[in-house]
Structure 1
Amino acid sequence: MRPRGAAVAADIEGTLIRRGDPGYEDARTGAVWNEVTPRRFPDVLVRAATEADVVHALTWARAQGLRVSLRSGGHNWSGAPLRDGGLLLDLSGLRQCAITPAHGSEPPTATVGPAATGQDLVAALTPQDLAFPVGHCPTVAVGGFLLSGGLGWNSRAWGASCADVREIRAVTADGRTVICSDTEYPELFWAARGAGPGFCAAVTGFRLALHPHPASIMATGLTFPLDEVSRVTEWAEPLARRLPPYVETAFVLASSGPPTESAPRGPRITVAATAFAATEREARQALEPFADCPFGACAVTRRPPVPVSFAALHEGAAAIWPPAHRYAADNLWSPESHATQLTRIADAVAHAPSGKSLVLSPVQPVSQEPALLRNMAFAPLGESYLVCYAIWDDPAGDQDNARWLRDAMAAADPRGDGCRYIAETDLEAGPARARRSYAPATWDRLQEIKAQWDPENLFHSYLAP
């Protein structure tokens, strides 16, 4: 008799590792980019090398009564792909990235695997003078990013990244491979643009619409002591909202900043603005108002507008979210202003146990043009948005930093009923976290689609406490 798992092991080109096998723990911890690895243990890990491997693994899991979780790049801060028992299907080998040039009236597109990263796309698109609203962190894979909606570079102009998804290729719970679009399996396509880690199929490929590469990308910024948070946000938020949509503005509250000639080491607030413009003149004109800050003399540092590239933007982001660190994160959509929200959370940032922790708060992080929010489960759920990151490197600090994150978010959301963005919410902070990431009607529709496409609940749904 063939041992349990032998059939699928013979069929797949990738790797199958069972709990207790050599290499299991490395594979389990390697499934999470975060150095904080949840103590959840799948029975089996399958690292797919091809789409056929995905079909074989799902067919075998269904026959064995194993529930399935999915991993593309492992950037989910809660470690949602790791579940106790069942099968972890690792799609990190599906990293293809192919560009189809424009032909006649057909615009250019990219066909990418779920494990292709933002930096992979930038490297492929830039030489062809094309662009896509990739994630801010370069190593985020498109799988989880696009399934969650995607708040990428220049999303204030281009919309949520999933707005540019034209088709998905997916393997369903019954083992079928389907191509979904606005016209083919439209319900599943709608869910694939926003359902995030609760999506009820395994996506093996995306076809993406592309944008002309901005002729000029320029960035500027001013940094102030954090005790200026109220004055800075009250000045910069209305300014940012008046600027053209191709200007991305964000506040960054840092728990520690280096000393300068005018200020000692201490917590900081930075206003960072990036213009993705058609000409250098347009970019410079769009950023000019940041040079006219009425209290600019109080700035700790000033960065005049300088040309940058998507690759350079990714390098800067990589310094904010370095690898080989420990992370916890949570976010909040709010009907209140950035001034209100950031003033409320500033004291927590100033007293963070780690000097690497920060709050990122983009102004209008995604376009709310109806055409760019059509036919998707994703929707912005507030006027202001912030993400709080606890970042540290010593395991001895796990409890203090996790507690700090929860306390900081309680300060930002004192009633505890704020809305969330599914990609970066602390899913284990409360049983309603996934549900609070969607409008009620959207949540109900997602449950209906899950019941239709995965009636036996083969795929794990949203992580909960």
Structure 2
Amino acid sequence: MAALGIPDAALKNLRAGLAGEAITPDDPGYEEAREIFNAMIEKRPAVIVQCRSSDDAAQTIRFARHLDREIAVRCGGHSVAGMALTDGGVVIDLRRMNGVTVDRDGLVARVGGGATIGDLDRATQPFHLVTTGGRASTIGLGGFVLGGGSGWIEREFGLACDNLMEVQLVTAEGRFVRASETENPELFWALHGGGGNFGVATWLTLRLHAIPAFSIALLLFAPEAGADALYAYREFIGRAPDEIGGGLIHLTAPDEEFVPRHMAGKLTCAVLVTYIGTENEIREVAAPMLGLGHQGELITQLPYADLQCMLDDPPGYRNYCSAEYVVGMPDELVQRFSARAADMIVPSRSRHALFPMGGQVARGDDRYPVPWRRAPWAVHPFGLWARPEDDVRGKQWVRDVRADAAPWSSGAVHLNFIGREGQERVVAGLGEENYQRLVAVKTEYDPDNVFHLNHNIKPA
């Protein structure tokens, strides 16, 4: 049977040339293959091609273009707008291309375009090596890095894109291109924030960093103490060395041993301090936060890869999120941010997060199209809930958090943190001057805008 109008002969030819597998709605495993992180998104691709090689990706691009079918590129599937799927089109599913090769002496990792943050972290952990990854292990590495990439250890090691050394790309014409500082340098520049606009990234090379030890201090406060905790955290992080990271997050407290029984399942203010060093050292450097009357704590030395899993959420939740990058954290914003936590859906997996920036992020390369790196704070409401009847309330909470922070917004925003919020926000995420330069790169590598299911840069 033809797959949503795709001729049988064309599908047969596609399958004959693949190392991977082409899945259609009639095939077993189709429903599982099209499942993405946001359960709010309901799209049915005509074909999902589970690629095993760059050649598979190239062949799939040519197949889809010949039939004039929309192309989506999928790895982790975390796009809040569901841009990893397309109705009636073709999905290039990279998840089987998740290999990681670690050069421990050269401090480099070569990573498949379908790898997740967890794939990378588990490969580098035995060598006590890291690079900046997202704040969940299930996030797709390719989209994360090419969109800029913010994570727990960015104050010490910079953004993920600051550690990008080379990309292998399959273009809209199905040809292979390499981008680095010396090979196609303008494309390489564009891949530092421009996302998936220019092709399918099938391999990435990333710089690694040695860490002797890694520790965290997770402190739980009653929600009514959230503002006082934030005042203290603001002063603490303002004097903290680059080795310190973390954030302040209002959330539903989990049912874990370190959580007091009266807090489990209730709204809680959590302060997370991360430290590149030992448990004894973090107890010393985090001392200003330890005498504020927290009610629960987890202070321990652990593998960095284990922290990366702590905020993992399974697929199946409905979600909506956004962000504002603010120029400071004045008292009024502290009060607004803390009060807005009361509007969260509780219990749920939602997180009302505030991340400190600075350090190597702020000192990073100004050439790249990531203008949000200069903001000292990121306000990130991240809503996840189970029931469709909570959709209106959950989305409104996210919008209200943005409105609260708007008077102090820098205007720039990390596009990985937002869904479809209009072309003005895309330009804001990249910078006005950068955007015009990115248009030129887009026009060279994808003049027909084949790769438009993203925060789109429109070709000239």
Give the TM-score category using the shorter length: 0.7 to 0.9
1:21 corresponds to which of 19, 26, 46 = 26
State the partner residue of 2:435: 443
Aligned twin of 1:146: 145
Provide the C-alpha distance between the structure 1 equivalents of 2:145 and 2:353, rounded to a whole number of angstroms.
Answer: 20
Match of 1:42 among 35, 42, 45: 45
Q: SS where residue 311 of structure 2 aligns?
A: helix
1:350 Cα deviation after fit: 0.8
- What is the deviation of 1:388? 0.8
Counterpart Cα distance in 1 of 2:206 and 2:361: 20
For residue 348 of structure 1, what is the aligned residue in structure 2? Answer: 340
- Equivalent position of 1:208 in the other structure: 206
2:96 & 2:263 partners in 1: Cα distance?
48
The reply to whether residue 134 of structure 1 matches residue 126 of structure 2 is no
Q: Which stretch has the larger CA shift, 356-365 or 385-394?
A: 356-365
Shift of 1:281: 5.5
Q: State the shift of 1:315 in Å.
A: 3.6
Structure 2 residue 302 is matched with structure 1 residue 301: no
Q: How far apart are 1:423 and its partner, in Å?
A: 0.6
| Structure 1 CA distance for aligned equivalents of residues 125 and 263 of structure 2 | 39
Indicate yes or no: 2:233 matched with 1:236.
yes
Alignment of 1:194-205 (within 5 A): 194-197=193-196, 199-205=197-203
SS at structure 2 position matched to 1:457: coil
Aligned equivalent of 1:220 = 217
Counterpart-to-counterpart distance in 1, 2:315 and 2:63: 34
Q: Which residue of 2 aligns with 1:327?
A: 319
Unpaired runs of 5+ residues, structure 2, are 1-6
How far did residue 399 of structure 1 move?
Answer: 3.4
Map residues 378-417 of structure 1 onto 2, 5 A cutoff: 378-379=370-371, 380=373, 382-413=375-406
Distance change in 2, residues 1:306/1:417 (3 Å): closer
Structure 1 residue 260, shift from structure 2 partner? 4.8
Structure 1 residues 400 and 290: CA distance shift in structure 2, 3 A: closer
Provide the rounded CA distance (Å) in 1 between the counterparts of 2:265 and 2:98.
42
Q: 1:340 to 1:426 in 2, by over 3 A?
A: farther
Partner of residue 33 from structure 1, selected from 32, 37, 43 = 37
1:416 Cα shift? 8.9
Give the TM-score normalised by the residue count of structure 1. 0.86
Question: Partners in 2 of 1:142 and 1:135 — Cα distance?
Answer: 8
Does 1:313 pair with 2:311?
Answer: no
In structure 2, the CA distance between the partners of 1:275 and 1:42, relative to structure 1 (3 Å rule), is: same
Question: In the alignment, is the contact (CA less than 8 A) between 1:249 and 1:362 conserved in 2?
Answer: yes
After TM superposition, give the deviation of residue 191 of structure 1 in Å.
1.4
TM-score of the superposition, structure 2-length normalised? 0.87
Task: State whether residues 434 and 462 of structure 1, in contact with CA within 8 Å, keep that contact through their aligned partners in structure 2.
Answer: no
Tell me if structure 2 keeps the 8 A contact 1:216–1:276.
yes
Pair 117,366 (structure 1): closer, same or farther in 2 beyond 3 Å: farther
Contact 2:324/2:379 (CA < 8 Å) preserved in 1? Answer: yes
The equivalent residue for 1:462 is: 454
Cα deviation for residue 342 of structure 1 reads: 4.4
CA gap 1:177/1:50 in 2 versus in 1, 3 angstroms: same
Could you list the per-position Cα deviations for residues 391-442 of structure 1 after superposition, in whole angstroms to 9, with x for gaps in the alignment? 2123343333233333333333379994321111132x44433222121112
Matched, 1:245 2:242: yes
Conservation of the 8 A alpha-carbon contact between 1:165 and 1:209: yes
- Distance across 1 between alignment mates of 2:354 and 2:23: 41
CA contact (8 A) 1:352 1:404 kept: yes
- Counterpart CA distance in 2 for 1:402 and 1:10 is 45
In structure 2, relative to structure 1, the CA distance for the partners of 1:7 and 1:261 (3 Å cut) is closer
How far apart are 1:70 and its partner, in Å? 0.9
Q: Give, in whole Å, the separation in 2 of the partners of 1:432 and 1:140.
A: 26
**Paired residues of 1:331 and 1:386 also in contact (CA < 8 A):** yes
Q: Where in structure 1 are there 5+ consecutive unaligned residues?
A: none
Q: Is the 8 A contact 1:241 1:364 kept in 2?
A: no
Matched, 1:88 2:80: no
CA RMSD of aligned residues (A): 2.8
- The residue aligned with 1:274 is 274
Identity %: 24
* Residue pair 1:229, 1:339 contacting (<8 A) in 2 also: no
Distance, in Å, in 2 between the alignment partners of 1:405 and 1:389 is 7
- How many positions carry a matched residue from both structures? 445
State the match for 2:4 in structure 1. none
Contact 2:34 2:85 in 1 (8 A): no
CA contact (8 A) 2:320 2:383 kept: yes
Summarize the Cα distance change of 1:204–1:221 in structure 2 as closer, same or farther, 3 Å threshold.
same
Is the 1:200–1:461 Cα contact (8 Å) retained in structure 2?
no
Question: What SS does the aligned partner of 2:177 have?
Answer: strand
How far residue 11 of structure 1 moved from its aligned partner, in angstroms, is: 1.2
C-alpha displacement of 1:204: 0.3
